Amino acid sequence: MNIIVADDERLAMENMLSLLRKLEPDAVIIGFTETDDVFEYIENNHVDIAFLDIEMGEYNGIELAKKCKDIAPYLNIIFVTGYSEYMIDAFRLHASGYLVKPVRSADLKAELDNLRHPPEYKPKCRVRIQTFGFFEVFVDSIPLKFTRTKCKECLAYLIDRRGARVTYAELAAVLWEDCAYDQAVQNNTQKIVSDLAKTLREMDLEKLIIRSRQDIAVDTTLVDCDYYAVLDGDMARLNTFMGEYMSNYSWAEFTVGELIRLKEEMKGGKSEWL
């Protein structure tokens, strides 16, 4: 769940952030003191709930809410104010809720439990894949230990292929790029795949890879991957890409070029790491 707090009083904003993080420890919670930053974030990211201060700089909360609704019609807007005079306007906007300062944790929880547009919760992915920089795999927030470096590279290549089926001959060409696909290389490739499957099975993740006699693939629905998120338009993840992708592996250079091109397009032609 993605939550934002907009309040031009930094102390009030920090207090709200603290309360929310205690109630929703797994949520992404971000605070803003400038309205332009609010608009930019909502335009580029999916947001479930926005807590808006009624009196905020050049905008009042009602005007701010109208513009936010134009950008994200199903955004849950909860007004936060020291006054009750705007309550009628808030309900005309079909706001999800209304909180009067100082905000109490119990009142905040009640609003979170009774949203106008409840978020569609998805089970939290146990597997987080980091591709920007060096390739790493985390299971339940702990780095996954591979029995062989080639097992890790095998999974990295499957992630790079984004669920496409990879023949064992193609996989062997990646893992042993200077070797002919003879019986010894075929046996070594099968050994790597078996060891990777065993490692995943020990973590109750055997469904992460899909195997047949001819090929192998990764189930992309079972991972939270920065690369995949960027391809889905996640600007926050895109900002973490600084020109390096799976730096462990030379074969990843083609995807680096694609990511650089994508970032330039989404950022208006500027490469921020240059």
> What number is the average pLDDT over the span 131-148?
96
> What number is the average pLDDT over the span 202-223?
95
In whole numbers, what is the pLDDT of the chain averaged over residues? 88
Q: How far apart are CA 175 and CA 250, in angstroms?
A: 11
Q: Residue for token digits 């009640």?
A: 110
**Strand-pair partners of 3:** 29, 49
Tokens at 47, concatenated = 């947001």
136 in helix, strand or coil? strand
pLDDT digits (tens, 9 = 90+) for 50-93: 999 887 767 677 788 888 888 888 899 999 887 666 666 666 67
pLDDT digits (tens, 9 = 90+) for 100-126: 888 999 999 999 999 998 887 556 689
Q: Residue 3: in which H helix or E strand, if any?
A: strand 2-6
Per-residue confidence (pLDDT) for residue 72, from 0 to 100: 86
Residue 160, Ramachandran bin (φ over 0: left; ψ between -120 and 50: alpha; else beta):
alpha
What pTM does this model have? 0.59
Domains of the chain: 2-113 (3.40.50.2300), 127-266 (1.10.10.10)
10 in helix, strand or coil? helix
| C-alpha closest to that of 193 among 154, 161, 149 | 154
